[in-house]
Amino acid sequence: MSKTELQSRPLVILGAGYTGTFLYPLAKTHGWRTYATSRNPITHLPLVPENDRIIFDLTAPKTWGNIPKNAHVIWCFPALPQDAAVNFIEQHFEDRGRLIMLGSTSAYGSGQPSPVDEHAPLDYSIPRVQSEEYLRETYGAVVLRLAGLYGPGRHVLDWMRKGKVNNTNKYVNLIHIEDVAAICLAALERAKAGEVYNVSDGISRQWSKIFEVASERWGLRLPPLSPPQNPGKRLTIAKLRSTLHSSFLHPDLYEALEEIEKQNNR
């Protein structure tokens, strides 16, 4: 289907939190008739024009009819409870468009051998994973398994300053929110139904290395090295690069952090 044909349907960002803040304006710039949902749009969607706000609560079926039945959906929150997610799709997507679900690389659990690709075993004890996989297998949802999100308002250096992360040799995978927004639109336009993509900037780093660079470059205090509770994951995004998205706006973590740091100090 061509982009023109795809854009004959509206696009709904379901649960437009942090990701939606960046995805909504990008989608509008790319010509999509875009709507954003929230349980409380007035409070949570102040930057979205009133005509593009939709009240939606997965646990309140009376709000389901607010979503256009022919819309494409980018689903930004865990599809839970699963029975509500399934009933919503069955009842209100008779003429459904494309369904893109934002998951998490935590779906792979811990202690995975390297590299972790889309065929790595999933942790089915996680309710979110159960729901995403059911929607993928039954309704052709495309699942984007996101690494840790950072960007304006979610600053890695602030996490370190506030002690939210420890100086360990644990591997971490990160992705700038502006790249996530671009990848969401790429998936909407080009991904095959039912596919899964790991989404990160393609570089697995140890927290200890990030702390070392932050100490040298921005003068952050370097706490003592502590043993990690688990080794983390070394994620591969070969599938994403080869079939969907190969050019990143923020390929260099430290340059991106420098940009955020400058914005915060203005």
pLDDT digits (tens, 9 = 90+) for 149-166: 999 999 999 999 999 999
Amino acid at position 248, single letter: F
Give the other-Cβ count within 10 Å of 265's Cβ. Answer: 6
The mean-pLDDT minimum among 14-18, 109-113, 143-147 falls in 109-113
Does the pLDDT of residue 113 top 70, yes or no? no
Across the range 114-123, mean pLDDT stands at 93
The domain made up of 3-149+174-200+237-249 has a fold known as Rossmann fold (3.40.50)
Q: How far apart are CA 32 and CA 259, in angstroms?
A: 28
Query: 41: left (phi > 0), else alpha (psi -120 to 50), else beta?
Result: alpha
Rg over CA atoms, the chain: 19
Handedness of CA 118, 124, 129, 131 (dihedral sign): positive
pLDDT value of residue 110: 75
183-200 pLDDT, tens digit per residue, is: 999 999 999 999 999 999
Does the pLDDT of residue 202 top 90, yes or no? yes
Averaged pLDDT of the chain: 95
Assign 243 a pLDDT band (cuts: 50, 70, 90). Answer: very high
Assign 266 a pLDDT band (cuts: 50, 70, 90). Answer: confident
Across the range 80-93, mean pLDDT stands at 92
pTM of the model: 0.96
Q: Where are the domains of the chain?
A: 3-149+174-200+237-249
Residues above pLDDT 90, as percent of the chain: 90
pLDDT value of residue 91: 85
